[in-house]
Amino acid sequence: MKGASYAVIGLIALVGIIGVMAYSVYQMSYGGYSLTQVEKSSREDIARARLEFTKNMLTQNLKYSGHAAMLVVAAQGGTIYPVTYWWCNSEPQPPSPKEFSSALSNFSILYFNAYINISKENENIKQMNVKIEEYKCAVPDDPGAEKCIGKDSSKCEAFDIGTIGGGGIEVHSPGYKSYFGNIETTVEPNRGYWLYWNLYNAANKNLLMRLVNQELRERCTGPESTSEKIKASLDDICKGFEALFDGYVNCSYEVLCLEEGTTCLNTPCEREPIENICSEESSLKGLTKNKRLEGIILQGQVASARINFIFTDYKYNIPTERGMEPLRFIISTVFEAGRQECRPIDER
């Protein structure tokens, strides 16, 4: 599955980050001690220092995992599916807030446990006799519509995330110390939830089809076909979406299909929502069979399209295995549109 391949590539590439990070934290943990001071420290103090070092490392790992998960989920349109259709045959079907958080949870724990398994092979961890166990779940805290909807993102530029179940840290020498509680951190700066909530609110108001029909009315005259009119409208449709955000967000698009008639509607675009957080269910049910619209469609008056709209947030860059990158939120759409009546002159 394409989505899974994204995660695998990310996991492999993050090996180097873990090694550097573990070494850096190890140096910080012991760099302040002279040899004499270390020798005089009690076994319990050394064990406690090793435990705190490991907790700090895991906290940082969880932060990176949240960032990495948001990059993948946003690129997939807000779900665990590789492609998420926000409009299916002209009808809005945005992922629910719970579905979005569920996807973020799934990828966060995937990355976090990968960090843990890589850390187990780190020589510094082995030398300190530290045992780390995987966690069962990572739960993001959705900032919510009230904080996130609107051009002002100041209250929605981060999200908290914490582990639930499983996990644990044990230091076995020179003394025994352990921690079996949860790991919690704040993933910041990251405007993934802000992008999601504004797009979700717009989809529920059917913004795409309103913009499409508006642009077709503006282009009601001329010999161009409906598909040509839609193509000529895409820049303005993007501007309509950009109006939801501040000046840091850019809208672009990728035309996958744009034809006269209903050719582009032959795309399985409905999906079965998966909203489980911390569930043992792991099988994906995938896209459901496409439901064709009922009724008679006049081919010469209707065009259909399959287009990806890409929203790139340039306010903050997010750490990735390739360096710092802006967050990209991609929504896929399948829709049809017909010729529109011209606006009366006094309405223009």
> For the segment 322-335, what is each residue's pLDDT rounded down to a tens digit?
899 999 999 999 99
Between 209 and 280, the higher pLDDT residue: 209
Report the alpha-carbon distance of residue 62 to residue 111 in Å, rounded: 8
Per DSSP, the three-state class of 253 is strand
Beta strands in the chain, from DSSP E residues, in sequence order:
85-88, 91-92, 130-141, 159-171, 177-179, 184-187, 249-260, 302-320, 323-338
Residue 21 scores a pLDDT above 80: no
Report the alpha-carbon distance of residue 220 to residue 132 in Å, rounded: 65
> What is the Cβ-side half-sphere exposure of residue 43, based on CA atoms within 13 angstroms?
7
pLDDT at 219: 85
pLDDT at 277: 79
pLDDT at 273: 83
pLDDT at 267: 87
CB 302 within 8 A of CB 90: no
Q: What DSSP designation does 18 have?
A: H
Highest mean pLDDT among 32-36, 208-212, 282-286: 208-212
For the segment 103-131, the average pLDDT, to the nearest whole number, is: 92
Report the alpha-carbon distance of residue 103 to residue 107 in Å, rounded: 6
Phi, psi of 260, deg, nearest 5: -70, 150
**What single letter denotes the amino acid at residue 68?**
A
Report the alpha-carbon distance of residue 258 to residue 262 in Å, rounded: 9
Report the alpha-carbon distance of residue 285 to residue 214 in Å, rounded: 36
Q: Which of 344, 334, 289 is nearest to 93 (CA)?
A: 334
